[in-house]
Amino acid sequence: MLKELASAAPRDCEDCPIRHRAVCARCESDELERLDQIKYYRSFEAGQTLIWSGDKMDFVGSVVSGIATLTQTMEDGRTQMVGLLLPSDFVGRPGRDSAAYDVVAVSDIVMCCFRKKPFEDMMARTPHIAQRLLEMTLDELDAAREWMLVLGRKTAREKIASLIAIIARRDAVLNTAGMQGPLVFDLPLTREAMADYLGLTLETVSRQVSALRRDGVIMLEGKRRVTVPDFNRLLEEAGDDSDGGLLV
């Protein structure tokens, strides 16, 4: 296992892969320098719980690479994923000192962290940071509301199609520029994590993935690699308007 890779962190903010999408996106070079002085990197292995709900949070930070989940758990063990953290996403909340959710690494992860207090001070003095954080929070709120429609009103098949569409769309944005032709990508989540995301059981997830494959909506290579021959068909299955309706 190549653990060294997981801790490969950018030396310099200017080379940082999330430079133009994270909280620091709007910072000028002098602001960036000040941030640079208080930042530090941390890396985590796949499967590790970075933060436990209720724990004292003495830092905030951005995901540089890798994927993590935000989940909520009930006393009896039922769990619901409430956020999916991708590179550039922000973790922690200025002004709160204990974590509200569990944060779990799905893959190996590198984070760019700031101790909370210095970051809060810096935020008060640097409107560019607060502005960007507001923008990102509003985007997350929109995503959460989209997700509420999925959880509250969609059928199991529509839920699966919606999730695959979200992953496909994100992948298309990050990698290939256009969305023409068949999309090919890996599902970053296990069936169980998909179930936690969608408010289903892993058996139902498995059945519906199989059903979409049988019906030609997706093709599978192994258990994770997906090909979507016709994205509009997938959107129809998701119950979404085939063109509009996407806030991302």
Partner DNA sequence: TGTAATCCTTGACGCAGATCAATTCACGGG
Partner DNA sequence: CCCGTGAATTGATCTGCGTCAAGGATTACA
CB of 92 to DNA, least distance (A): 26
Query: Does residue 226 interact with DNA by CB under 7 A?
Result: no
Question: Residue 224: which of 147, 164, 142 has the closest Cα?
Answer: 164
b/e 130-144 (16+ beta carbons within 10 angstroms → b): bebbeebeeeeeeee
Contact 5, 11 (CB under 8 A): no
The single residue among 5, 8, 148, 174 that binds a second copy, judged by CB under 8 A, is 148
- Whichever of 147 and 231 has its CB closer to a second copy, that residue is 147
Contact 242, 232 (CB under 8 A): yes
The single residue among 56, 145, 224, 225 that binds a second copy, judged by CB under 8 A, is 145
- Whichever of 49 and 80 has its CB closer to a second copy, that residue is 80
The phi and psi torsions of 120 (rounded to 5 degrees) equal -60, -40
Q: Which of positions 114-133 make contact with a second copy (CB under 8 A)?
A: 124, 127, 130-131, 133
Query: Does residue 181 interact with a second copy by CB under 8 A?
Result: no
Query: Does residue 192 interact with DNA by CB under 7 A?
Result: yes
Which of a second copy, DNA, none does 246 bind, CB closer than 5 to 8 A by kind? none
Q: Which of positions 102-131 make contact with DNA (CB under 7 A)?
A: none
Query: Does residue 21 interact with DNA by CB under 7 A?
Result: no
Q: Under the rule (CB under 8 A), what is the footprint of a second copy? A: 54, 70, 72, 74-76, 78-80, 82-83, 93, 95, 100-101, 124, 127, 130-131, 133-135, 137-138, 140-142, 144-149, 151-153, 198-199, 239, 241, 244, 247
